[in-house]
Amino acid sequence: MAKRSAQIRRRQPRHAGPHEDFHDRNFEGDNVRRLFDDTQWTPLGQENEREQKYRKNIRAHNDAQQSLIDAIDASPLVFAAGAAGTGKTYLAVAKGVEALEQGRVRRIVLSRPAVEAGESLGFLPGDVAEKLSPYLRPLYDALCDRISGKRLKALIAEGVIEIAPIAYMRGRTLNNAYVVIDEAQNCTYGQLKMLLTRLGWSSSMIVTGDPAQSDLLPGMSGLETVMGKLEPIEQVSVVRFTRADVVRHPLVAELIDAL
């Protein structure tokens, strides 16, 4: 009897309380609604909402991003270094997808160091791919914004797109490939030297990182040293981003200055 009474009460409409807004109530048949009714902030300062669809072409939001795009088109080796939230990784991956779609490269190789940000994850279950997935997740996110999930899985299964930790790059020669080395501030000088010498024929490599956010011990990161030594080389481009180039939430730029 008590069970039947509880079922009847659940079927009856609930009236809003004195301190409850009318829109906070969930009605039967109306359980799906928008989380945000107002338009969200966009880097372009537009009032309309962002279109949630795949874009064939990309465009720069500031001069630094345009410099990076031009450098990728002109140089086989590009360093993109600077503040977080400036779109370095996204642009590097997007240009790789563009090169693949246009047939200028046969494969994309994305790599980043498996370094934990200040805390140890301990033992992770699963095979090698499952263990490394948390570290490589940002690269998957950038790819998913350019390629549909179904096609991305097919390209990864065929080996056209490869996402690998830096530890697996030793001894390889990357021909006809577009290579992205992400989070390079967590690479030592020796690791970067090994990675840069993987570059093969008809290939290009983009190295991204924020020297101010290294998770290595002080003095171990080799990104600044490598950039300083290679910047004078004609076929090497170095693009530096500042807090003025941040395209995330406007507060991020202020956090960079404050922290």
Beta bridge partners of 6: none
Q: Which of 102, 62, 19, 103 is nearest to 246 (CA)?
A: 62
- Measured in whole angstroms, the distance separating CA 142 from the mean position of its chain's CA atoms is 5
Task: Give, as one character, the DSSP assignment of residue 27.
Answer: B
Identify the sign of the CA torsion 220, 80, 248, 113: negative
pLDDT in tens, the chain (259 residues): 555 555 555 555 555 454 444 444 443 444 444 444 444 444 445 544 444 445 556 788 899 999 999 999 999 999 999 988 899 999 999 999 999 999 999 999 999 887 765 555 556 666 666 766 776 787 888 888 888 888 988 998 999 999 888 888 888 999 999 999 999 999 999 999 999 999 999 999 999 999 988 888 888 999 999 999 999 999 999 999 998 888 887 788 788 778 7
Q: What domains are there in the chain, each with its CATH number?
A: 63-258 (3.40.50.300)
Residue 199, amino acid: L
Phi-psi map region of 116: left, alpha, beta (phi>0 left; psi -120 to 50 alpha): beta
Six token digits for residue 238: 């170095």
